[in-house]
């Protein structure tokens, strides 16, 4: 049996999923000088003179390498894109090579079959073979240059980049055009020097935006296309016990901010320790529990039941409400009534 503490899981998830009522797993706030300072002015005045209250403010902060490209529009709307690193771009390029040279091999096979058939039936196979070699050379040029330019101009991504989840955009976040696509791909020959795209990898390692030479000249970057995920509904687990439903209000109304806070609370539970989760739950449960006069010993479970009732109020799949008290008979007063 699961402990009494409520557990919520996503639809279709196993029964061991994180409880719905767990506290929101927010990132640990940075403990700066303000958060470490005494709580009131008197305590601040009573602090020893040599207490380094403001020392952490000037201390250096080791920030991780940022791979997020933030682009601000003229309307002051900021869009963030994750930059693609060398490994992911190499994967996309390998896929494109398989597509290009696979198509080239199929075309070469067809040309050889046609030359053999013409030479057998009509003669003059040598002339047709020369024509086929010319066609293959044109196809080789198209594979190495036109393929990348056309796909990036029309769609911003080649089939390889589509598989790897990448897209080419300008440094201002706009789709690239023919000029940018042609320029960045023409300079692919320089990136390939001296061998194995060594110069291109060095340029990407030195660039804060992972730009190879073609990207630097064309003013483009390669970003990761984020795939938005539709959040699945939260389910209450384990089901409420009868004693939990005895005092649960039949209707619970939460405003938009409360619903958003509780949903974030439940979706991010499990990423912190149990003690931290319950600490956050105690910070949230007070006003809501006082409003409806419903409070269980477990504050996490209290929030879970109230949130679930608010979501399902008026729906057929709502939790059963507490049974109404039997009407008092005229001969005897109701329990708890004044006599």
Could you report the per-residue pLDDT of 255-281, keeping only the tens digit for each? 888 888 888 888 877 776 788 888 888
Q: Is the omega angle on the peptide bond into residue 238 within 30 degrees of 0, that is, cis? A: yes
Task: Name the DSSP class of 175.
Answer: B
> In this predicted structure, what is the pLDDT of residue 133?
82
Task: Name the DSSP class of 36.
Answer: H
Q: How confident is the model at residue 218 (pLDDT cuts 50, 70, 90)?
A: very high
Whether 167 has a pLDDT exceeding 80, the answer reads yes
What is the average per-residue pLDDT within 113-137?
76
- Say if residues 176 and 208 touch (Cβ distance below 8 Å): no
Each residue of 168-199: pLDDT tens digit?
Answer: 999 988 999 999 999 999 999 899 998 888 99
Element (H, E) at 82: strand 78-83
Cα dihedral value 11, 17, 23, 24, nearest 10: -60
- Say if residues 310 and 20 touch (Cβ distance below 8 Å): no
Compare 118 and 168 and report the one with higher pLDDT.
168
Q: How confident is the model at residue 88 (pLDDT cuts 50, 70, 90)?
A: very high
> In this predicted structure, what is the pLDDT of residue 165?
93
Domain ranges of the chain: 83-224, 234-312
Whether 105 has a pLDDT exceeding 70, the answer reads yes
> In this predicted structure, what is the pLDDT of residue 84?
93
302: Cβ contacts below 8 Å, ≥ 6 apart:
21, 281, 285, 289, 294, 295, 296
Whether 29 has a pLDDT exceeding 80, the answer reads no
DSSP-assigned beta bridge partners for residue 167: 223
Element (H, E) at 234: strand 234-237
> In this predicted structure, what is the pLDDT of residue 90?
93
> In this predicted structure, what is the pLDDT of residue 98?
95
> In this predicted structure, what is the pLDDT of residue 202?
93
Quote the percentage of the chain above a pLDDT of 90: 28
What is the average per-residue pLDDT within 21-27?
40
> In this predicted structure, what is the pLDDT of residue 10?
38
Whether 120 has a pLDDT exceeding 60, the answer reads yes
Whether 164 has a pLDDT exceeding 90, the answer reads yes
Pair type for strands 7-10 and 234-237: antiparallel
Helix H, strand E, coil C: the string for 275-288 is HHHHHHHHHHHHHH
Give the C-alpha separation, 247 to 293, whole Å: 8
> In this predicted structure, what is the pLDDT of residue 122?
67
């Amino acid at each position: 049996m699961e402990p009494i503490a409520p557990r919520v899981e996503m639809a279709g998830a196993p029964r061991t999923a994180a409880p719905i009522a767990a506290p929101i797993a927010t990132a640990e706030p940075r403990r700066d000088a303000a958060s470490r300072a005494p709580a009131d002015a008197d305590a601040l005045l009573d602090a020893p003179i040599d207490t380094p209250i403001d020392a952490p403010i000037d201390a250096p902060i080791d920030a991780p390498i940022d791979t997020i490209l933030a682009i601000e529009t003229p309307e002051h709307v900021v869009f963030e894109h994750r930059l693609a690193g060398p490994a992911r771009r190499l994967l996309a390029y390998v896929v494109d090579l398989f597509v290009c040279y696979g198509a080239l091999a199929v075309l070469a096979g067809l040309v050889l079959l046609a030359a053999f058939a013409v030479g057998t039936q009509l003669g003059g196979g040598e002339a047709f073979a020369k024509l086929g070699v010319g066609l293959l050379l044109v196809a080789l040029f198209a594979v190495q240059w036109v393929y990348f330019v056309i796909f990036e101009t029309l769609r911003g991504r080649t089939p390889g980049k589509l598989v790897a989840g990448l897209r080419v955009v300008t440094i201002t976040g706009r789709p690239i055009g023919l000029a940018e696509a042609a320029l960045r791909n023409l300079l692919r020959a320089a990136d390939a020097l001296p061998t194995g795209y060594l110069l291109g990898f060095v340029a990407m390692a030195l660039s804060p935006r992972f730009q190879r030479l073609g990207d630097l000249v064309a003013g483009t970057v390669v970003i990761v296309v984020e795939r938005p995920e539709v959040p699945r509904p939260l389910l209450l687990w384990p089901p409420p016990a009868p004693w939990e439903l005895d005092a649960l209000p039949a209707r619970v109304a939460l405003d938009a901010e409360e619903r958003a806070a509780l949903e974030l609370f439940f979706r991010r539970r499990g990423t912190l320790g149990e003690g931290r989760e319950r600490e956050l739950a105690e910070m949230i449960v007070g006003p809501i529990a006082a409003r409806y006069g419903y409070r269980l010993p477990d504050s996490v479970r209290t929030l879970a039941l109230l949130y679930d009732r608010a979501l399902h109020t008026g729906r057929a799949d709502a939790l059963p409400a507490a049974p109404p008290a039997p009407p008092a008979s005229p001969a005897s007063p109701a329990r708890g009534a004044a006599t």
